[in-house]
Amino acid sequence: MAAFPPVDEQMQILMRGVDFGDPLTYTNMERELRARLEESAATGRPLRVYCGYDPSSPDLHLGHTISMRKLRQFQDLGHDVIFLIGTFTGIIGDPSDKESARKQQSLTEALEKAQTYADQAWAVLDPARTTVRYNHEWLKELSFEQIVQLASNFTVQQFLARDNFSKRYATGDAIWLHEFFYALMQGYDAVALNTDVQVGGTDQLFNLMAGRKLMEAFGLKPQIVLTSPILVGTDGVQRMSKSTGNTIGVNDPPGIMFTKVLNIPDSAVRNYAELVTRWPQAQIDRFFHDAETGVIDMRELKHRLAWEIVSIFHGDAEAGKAAEDAARMHQGEAPSDAPAFQVRAPVGIVDLLHAAGAVTSKSEGRRLVQQGGVRLQGETIKEVDFVVEPDSQERTLQAGKRKFLRLVS
């Protein structure tokens, strides 16, 4: 019989950061989770816990890791975790956060993008204690009759009450019928896996509750759902999403990750601190108190945040190196891993940028110069016909915010 930590200890860990936006739902789920944990302790049976991730792109980002960290907490407490890759739900794409339909992809495309997901998940999850599943295994086998039976458990009004659908309905924007199928399919995942707990973001609550309803319809004990707040993207406004291009990837190089965190708006710093870091809440509160009272400035707090996040995914040594590079870039110097470009003869700045791969085309290079985005040794180059001469001393050329070259003779 498996031994688990005391239920009170498990509850304290597992309910931290959980938010439903509704006190009654919180109370109900908290009560059900405690009862399920007590049953687990009595029988020695670990809970089956899962979260699904649709392969809309080949890369996981920090937003995905919020639910993954909750899965890891269950793992560390001795429970079984399923990392579900939504190879079939990914064909439609989750409409929960969208005010227009997602572009559909084929199962083949979803499977290709899914190939990298499992390896990236090990940045947070323990591979020895994780089962990886793909939901096309059961969803593509459903007959039309079975789909009709699933749909009969819900009303159109229930779907139209969802915020994203209600907005589109009110403005006359299209709501495609296949978008309704997403919640049915995700709900059926819970049936197929016969899970005890499903975790996800607050925007997923309708889909997670659909799993409870379908489990009851199939005579199964309904799963408990635990949702966490949404991580905003690097723009500080919209949720982190590949489709909006505001992501910090789990596999981003340390320097890129560090710089992206430094550049998030001040308003987003607490969101990142509370959802991504390993910092205790008391430490987070102390940091923000120090920032508000002037003990430290916001840039220093962002440096601490960036170091912590890079350390989580790349280790302390890489975090330290990234911090040093960020300091150099702030002073107009090239980071340690900046590529070298040899200048043996006079060369126009636009030709240099293109030849060095700092821009994808000469027209892009001209625009960057005209916008004041190119600096040589910290001085802005203002003319597109500027000529870079050879020099015995190494110099730093900056193109945009994050691209640096070391010019050598």
In a domain, residue 241? The reply is no
Nearest to 184 by CA among 139, 230, 228, 145: 139
Same domain, 144 and 187: yes
Residuewise pLDDT in 10s, the chain (409 residues): 568 999 999 999 999 889 998 899 999 999 999 999 999 999 999 999 999 998 877 788 999 999 999 999 999 999 999 999 999 988 876 665 444 445 677 888 888 878 888 888 888 999 999 999 999 999 999 999 999 999 999 988 888 877 778 788 788 888 888 888 888 999 999 999 999 999 999 988 989 999 999 999 999 999 999 999 999 999 988 889 877 788 999 988 898 899 899 889 999 999 999 999 989 889 999 999 999 999 999 989 999 999 999 999 999 999 999 888 887 776 666 666 678 888 888 899 999 999 888 888 999 999 999 999 898 877 899 898 999 998 877 788 888 877 888 888 7
Distance from C-alpha of 286 to C-alpha of 223, rounded to nearest angstrom: 37
CA-only gyration radius of the chain, Å: 25
Q: Tell me which DSSP letter residue 363 carries.
A: H
β-pair partners for 49: 81, 197
Contact 139, 85 (CB under 8 A): no
In a domain, residue 238? The reply is no
Same domain, 76 and 163: yes
Contact 88, 107 (CB under 8 A): yes
> The tokens of 253 are what?
């190089």
Note the pLDDT of residue 333.
63
> The tokens of 174 are what?
């299209």
Alpha-carbon separation of residue 125 from 69, 70, 74, 320 (angstroms) = 7, 10, 10, 24
Note the pLDDT of residue 100.
46
In a domain, residue 245? The reply is no
Residue 180's identity, in one-letter code, is F
Distance from C-alpha of 83 to C-alpha of 120, rounded to nearest angstrom: 11
Nearest to 193 by CA among 87, 83, 91: 83
Same domain, 35 and 150: yes
In a domain, residue 371? The reply is yes
Last residue of a domain, one of 233, 262, 281: 233
Question: 2 phi and psi, to 5 degrees?
Answer: -70, 145
Note the pLDDT of residue 350.
92
Torsion angle defined by CA atoms of residues 307, 312, 313 and 314, in that order, rounded to the nearest 10 degrees:
60
pLDDT tens sequence across 114-167: 888 888 888 899 999 999 999 999 999 999 999 999 999 998 888 887 777 878
Q: Domain total for the chain?
A: 3
Note the pLDDT of residue 285.
93
Same domain, 115 and 192: yes
The whole domain housing 391 covers 340-408
Question: 379 phi and psi, to 5 degrees?
Answer: -95, 130
In a domain, residue 43? The reply is yes
> The tokens of 355 are what?
């030849």
> The tokens of 250 are what?
């789990």
Q: Domain holding 351: CATH number?
A: 3.10.290.10
Same domain, 156 and 292: no
Same domain, 112 and 171: yes
- Helical packing angle, 205-217 and 177-193, nearest 10°: 60
Contact 385, 347 (CB under 8 A): no
Note the pLDDT of residue 242.
78
Question: 349 phi and psi, to 5 degrees?
Answer: -60, -40
Cα diameter, the chain: 78
> The tokens of 409 are what?
């003779």
Q: Domain holding 165: CATH number?
A: 3.40.50.620
Cβ neighbourhood burial of 217 (10 Å; 0-12, 13-18, 19+): middle
Residue 309's identity, in one-letter code, is I
Alpha-carbon separation of residue 22 from 59, 206, 394, 407 (angstroms) = 32, 13, 59, 57
Last residue of a domain, one of 233, 267, 285: 233
For residue 115, how many other CB atoms are within 10 A of its CB?
A: 11
Question: 381 phi and psi, to 5 degrees?
Answer: -85, 125
Same domain, 227 and 365: no
Same domain, 348 and 318: no
CA 191 to chain centre: 26
For CA atoms 279, 282, 284, 286, the dihedral sign is negative
Same domain, 207 and 175: yes
Same domain, 262 and 170: no
Same domain, 226 and 315: no
Distance from C-alpha of 181 to C-alpha of 153, rounded to nearest angstrom: 12
Note the pLDDT of residue 94.
60
Distance from C-alpha of 33 to C-alpha of 14, rounded to nearest angstrom: 9
